[in-house]
Amino acid sequence: MRVRVPRLVIATSLAASLVAGGCGSSVPRQPTAPPTGTPSTGPLETAAGDPSMAVPSTPRPSASEGPLAFEVQTFRIPDGADPHDVAPASDGGVWYTGQRNGTLGWLDPESGEVREVALGRGAAPHGVVSGPDGAAWVTDQGLDAIVRVTPGDFDVTTYPMIGAARGLAPHTGAFDQDGILWFTLQRGAIGRLDPATGDIRSYPSPGGGGPYGIAVTPSNDVYFVSLSASYLGRVDKATGDVTVIEPPTPNSGTRRVWSDSRGRLWISYWNAGMLARYDPADGSWREWDLPGGRNQAYSVYVDELDGVWVTDFGQNTILRFDAATETFESFPSDRSNAAVRQMLGRPGEAWGAESGTDRLVVIRY
């Protein structure tokens, strides 16, 4: 079932800020002391569209060319949006879900312009990804639906949950290589939507409620994690059956998951404050403590260089992990309670939403 929603688009232009560099640290698997270091500069507030905000374009370095250089930039969005997830858009902009004000927002990184489209009465959008059709696909827990929004004209189409999926709270989505949208249902299921037909199916998850992050590997396998049940699950796409894979650390709070180019699954441990990796090729696990203390690992995203980005609520920072050297690069927020949730990106850019400050953040490298 598809339902079209009348469009209400609000455009605004807000300021952006730029921070150059980051804080680098080397952390062993079992660190005995927190790393040291400070950001190289403070924030430079500039008006949206100011040429001084421009970031020079440089060739993408290879692993043999030495350390990466980083620049951090933030963009203010309308107050009260409470942005949750973020995804680069097919037109060069960036989508974000306004969980509190029931909108899907779009940012132009060049000008700082922001546009928001209302998704419908009662909307509370959670996740967003860009689909193979170039549209934004949103998991909306308030509407109990998947919502599709086209770039440019912001045309909105909703796909309400049906049957056993109804009322289970769509959470996070990922497209497989066949164009099927797979998504977690937080109250105890995994769902799939075929955009060609609008067909929606759901399959119960082991352990009941808790499905959270979801990812597709280069071999087109679907994996998800359960936050409350603390496991990694592999979905049989033909039957919906789930194979449970237990992490080495009990009650770790597996929150988000992402695949690298080799099909290894990177997982954030919310309860344990760790980053983990599972290799389906041999069934092996590795785990790393995050730098510092009182860590809360929330999101995880793997970039095109296989750098692993993870956000730490306890340290109020974004981290990038280099698996080759087993070291973390740290990018603390210049504001308290940034609360960066899921991250996504495109070559040379890692994007996140600061849900606690009503800002988007990008780290260019």
SS3 content of the chain, % helix, strand, coil (to 5): 0, 50, 50
Where exactly are the structural domains of the chain?
Answer: 1-26+36-54+70-137+346-365
Q: What is the pLDDT of residues 251-275, one digit of tens each?
A: 999 999 999 999 999 999 999 999 9
Q: What is the pLDDT of residues 275-314, one digit of tens each?
A: 999 999 999 999 999 999 999 999 999 999 999 999 999 9
Residue 262, pLDDT score? 98
Other CB atoms within a 10 A radius of the CB of residue 339 amount to 20
pTM: 0.86
Contacts of 8 (CB under 8 A, 6+ apart): 117, 118
Residue 48, pLDDT score? 33
Q: How would residue 230 be classed by pLDDT, with cut points 50, 70 and 90?
A: very high
**Helices of type H across the chain:** none
